[in-house]
A and B are shown apart, each in its own frame.
Chain A
Amino acid sequence: MEVETIKPRVRPMHIVLCAVTVGLTSVATWISTAFPIGAPGISFFFWAIGLMVAFTMWFGIWGAIGSSIGAIIGGMWGGLPFAVALLLDGVTDFIEPVIPALVFRSLALNPELKMRRDWAAYVVASVVAACVGGFIGANVEVWVGWVPGIFSPAFYISWLGWAIGDIVCFIVIGGTLLRTLTGFTKRMGLYSKTWLA
Chain B
Amino acid sequence: MAIRSYLTYVSPESIVGRLSPPTKIFLPVLVSFMALVTTNLYLNLFFLLAILVILFMLAKPPSAYVKLFTGAALWMCFVFVIFYLFLSGYKGNIIFQLGPVSVVDTSVYMVTSIILRFLTMTYATVLLLCTTNQKDIVMTVRWLRLPYAFSFMLALAFRCAIMFLEDATKVQEAQRGRAVEFNKGSLIRRLRKFIALLVPLIVISLKRTQTISNAIESRAFSFSTKKRTFYFTLRVKPVDYVIIGALFAIFALLVVSKLTLGGFMGYPF
Q: Which residues of A contact B (CB under 8 A)?
A: 11-13, 15-20, 22-24, 26-27, 36, 38-41, 47, 51, 54, 66, 69-70, 73, 76-84, 144-149, 152-154, 157, 172-173, 176-177, 180-181, 184-185, 188-190
Given contacts A81-B32, A149-B89, 6 further A-B contacts (CB under 8 A): A16-B209, A19-B152, A23-B157, A38-B79, A79-B72, A181-B202
Name which of B6, B28, B84 has the most chain A CB atoms within 10 A of its CB. Answer: B84
B87 and A153 contacting across the interface, CB-CB below 8 Å: yes
Chain A nearest CB from B228 CB (Å) reads 14
B159 in contact (CB, < 8 A): yes
CB closest chain-B residue, reference A74: B161
Given A15-B149, A16-B216, A154-B88, does the pair A184, B161 have CB atoms closer than 8 Å? no
Q: Which residues of A contact B156 (CB under 8 A)?
A: 15-16, 19-20, 23
Q: Which residues of B contact A147 (CB under 8 A)?
A: 83
Instruction: Tell me the B102-150 residues at the A interface (CB within 8 Å).
Output: 107, 110, 113-114, 117-118, 121-122, 124-125, 128-129, 149
Q: Which residues of B contact A (CB under 8 A)?
A: 6, 28-29, 32-33, 35-36, 39, 69, 72-73, 75-76, 79-80, 83-84, 87-90, 107, 110, 113-114, 117-118, 121-122, 124-125, 128-129, 149, 152-165, 168, 191, 194-195, 198-199, 202-203, 205-210, 212-213, 216-217, 221-223
B83 and A148 contacting across the interface, CB-CB below 8 Å: yes
Q: Which residues of B contact A39 (CB under 8 A)?
A: 79
Q: Select which of A15, A20, A36, A79 is within 8 A of B205 by beta carbon.
A: A20
B209 and A181 contacting across the interface, CB-CB below 8 Å: no
Q: Which residues of B contact A177 (CB under 8 A)?
A: 198-199, 202
Q: Which residues of A contact B191 (CB under 8 A)?
A: 172
- Which 5 pairs, one residue from A and one from B, show the smallest C-beta to C-beta distance? A23-B160, A81-B121, A22-B157, A148-B88, A19-B156
In the assembly, what is the distance between CA of A23 and CA of B155, in Å? 10
CB closest chain-A residue, reference B7: A77
Interchain pairs with CB closer than 8 A, number: 173
CB closest chain-B residue, reference A157: B87
Name which of A15, A39, A73, A144 has the most chain B CB atoms within 10 A of its CB. Answer: A15
Q: Which residues of B contact A20 (CB under 8 A)?
A: 156-157, 160, 205-206, 208-209
A82 and B88 contacting across the interface, CB-CB below 8 Å: no
A173 and B198 contacting across the interface, CB-CB below 8 Å: yes
Chain A nearest CB from B55 CB (Å) reads 14
Q: Select which of B35, B122, B160 is within 8 A of A19 by beta carbon.
A: B160
What's the dominant secondary structure at chain A's contact region? Answer: helix
In the assembly, what is the distance between CA of A18 and CA of B147, in Å? 15
A82 and B209 contacting across the interface, CB-CB below 8 Å: no
Q: Select which of B79, B154, B168 is within 8 A of A40 by beta carbon.
A: B79
A23 and B164 contacting across the interface, CB-CB below 8 Å: yes
Q: Which residues of A contact B87 (CB under 8 A)?
A: 148, 152-154, 157
B73 and A82 contacting across the interface, CB-CB below 8 Å: no
In the assembly, what is the distance between CA of A81 and CA of B121, in Å? 5
Q: Which residues of A contact B35 (CB under 8 A)?
A: 83
CB closest chain-A residue, reference B213: A13
In the assembly, what is the distance between CA of A18 and CA of B73, in Å? 31
Chain B nearest CB from A187 CB (Å) reads 10
In the assembly, what is the distance between CA of A157 and CA of B199, in Å? 32
A-B contact pairs, 6 of them (CB 8 A): A12-B223, A16-B156, A23-B161, A79-B76, A81-B118, A190-B206
CB closest chain-A residue, reference B32: A83
Q: Which residues of A contact B125 (CB under 8 A)?
A: 76, 79-82
Q: Which residues of A contact B80 (CB under 8 A)?
A: 40, 146
In the assembly, what is the distance between CA of A11 and CA of B220, in Å? 11
B122 and A17 contacting across the interface, CB-CB below 8 Å: no
In the assembly, what is the distance between CA of A124 and CA of B44, in Å? 44
Q: Which residues of B contact A180 (CB under 8 A)?
A: 199
